[in-house]
Structure 1
């Protein structure tokens, strides 16, 4: 399935879930809307739960991309922060159907994978708020940054509900500027004698959960690579080709497991494409499984969280 067609499938299914509800929408409803057979559905998604997870991942990635899409030269850090919050509101306005679905479904009951994914995304967004607040207001707010981030998160979530109800009456940038003015007042109100309510010890379990899941993902990728290298030795290939593929898999693992810097997407994709272009039929399914695990690893913004992780230690 091409990426464009996958996106079409995901967006069509999301609208069905938003209109009818997850449990009232059958696989037959979905394949009828897609114009494919049930067999074809299971070729692309293992279950309705798997499809729902793909939908949530798709829209969360779009939402998170809106944070980072604002260029660095957009003025002061505070002005860029305002534009980022405005883009976040605009993104939710653009995807009202998704917001409606998120507000009406009980995701923990659908799938533990969905529940864990949403928890990780909430952790990421919270860490992003912490980082940006320090970049905007300076290191003097570090003592209170978890409290301020919690207040900001609460304000944004509640106003997002208002955007859903009164979309045409609320302007994204005006709302973002209004909220940042409130932040100015909140931060100015703190005194040095006042102790923060939240501290790193209270929030550490969230980061520990995320770190545990990332280690599991790393182990999964390493196992895929080891399996491919073992299979490689059993194939009747030219020794030079065999050596180059083995070296490519080593390079892929080194790039992904580097703890000191973010994996470069063009390097990772280039290695996977190189191996794919060797056209080894016995590799096809295993390589597809590896590529899927790598995609999951690359798209969850782990490396954006490094600064907050340092604050937690």
Structure 2
């Protein structure tokens, strides 16, 4: 994203948080950024388009911070705890902006934003699903979809206290508590042979039908960029192998997992590695 667009996003976010989305005009945003309305419209077609880009920008910031924690430990439980802490911290850092959205119901549900929100929800679900499988293994596969949603609801409970009630809670303590409560829920399923209400077939009805195909297109485009621009032979060759695999009628997970491990060794390609991991969880 261009530096000028980032500047507009940051200034607009502050104005939206202070005045509200509907009460903030394009003229005020332009003035705060030290530019004319015409210059603003060269960057964004409308205030709604700005809001969409703002949401995507902050979401990608969170994704980046969460993904970089992958390198801190080989222990999936430690990674999960640290990543939950970061998610809560990032949301808390934008508390005023989130309150504005809730108060005004500011997000205009045009098709673009609605699609983006569904994408975020699906990513969130698959994020927790992958972590649960990493932590507990195949023995939880029957329950993993329901557990992924229950884990998300646990986090939302604490976030509501922080955002709505301005409760001062230690984010790391919350993350550790969520892991413990997840352990208890998993033990309950396993010890009582309980059957999930939320099954994998139900989840497949909820996840947008085109999610996997859109993911695949996005991954292929990113791999093409790496292949064209990367000077390091290992990364370029890895991207080439993955491109061939993703364009097969039935991609082989073993090959994809092996090549993705190569991408994860490099910070410049870690974003696409995480996209691939999410994709593999979804099909």
| TM-score, scaled relative to structure 2 | 0.76
The CA deviation string for residues 120-150 of structure 1, in whole angstroms up to 9 with x for no partner, is: 0110110010000110122111111111111
- What does 1:1-313 correspond to in 2, within 5 Å? 3-74=2-73, 76-106=75-105, 109-165=108-164, 167=166, 169-190=168-189, 191=191, 193-205=193-205, 206-211=207-212, 213-214=214-215, 259=246, 302-310=275-283
Secondary structure of the structure 1 residue equivalent to 2:141: helix
Instruction: Say which is worse superposed, 44-53 or 158-167, in terms of deviation.
Output: 158-167
- 2-side partners of 1:106 and 1:301: how far apart? 31
The alpha-carbon distance between structure 1 residues 148 and 210, as it changes in their structure 2 partners (threshold 3 A), is: same
| TM-score, scaled relative to structure 1 | 0.69
Count of matched residue positions in the alignment of Structure 1 and Structure 2: 249
Q: In terms of Rg, which structure is larger? A: 1
- 1-side partners of 2:155 and 2:73: how far apart? 22
**Any conservation in 2 of the 1:14–1:97 contact (CA below 8 Å)?**
no
The CA deviation string for residues 256-303 of structure 1, in whole angstroms up to 9 with x for no partner, is: 7861557x7xxxx9xxxxxxxxxxxxxxxxxxxxxxxxxxxx889642
Report the CA distance between 1:77 and its aligned residue. Answer: 1.6
User: Which consecutive residues of structure 1, in runs of 5 or more, have no partner in the other structure?
Assistant: 222-251, 270-297
**Any conservation in 2 of the 1:133–1:145 contact (CA below 8 Å)?**
yes
The alpha-carbon distance between structure 1 residues 125 and 209, as it changes in their structure 2 partners (threshold 3 A), is: same
The alpha-carbon distance between structure 1 residues 74 and 218, as it changes in their structure 2 partners (threshold 3 A), is: closer
Over the aligned positions, Cα root-mean-square deviation in angstroms equals 3.3
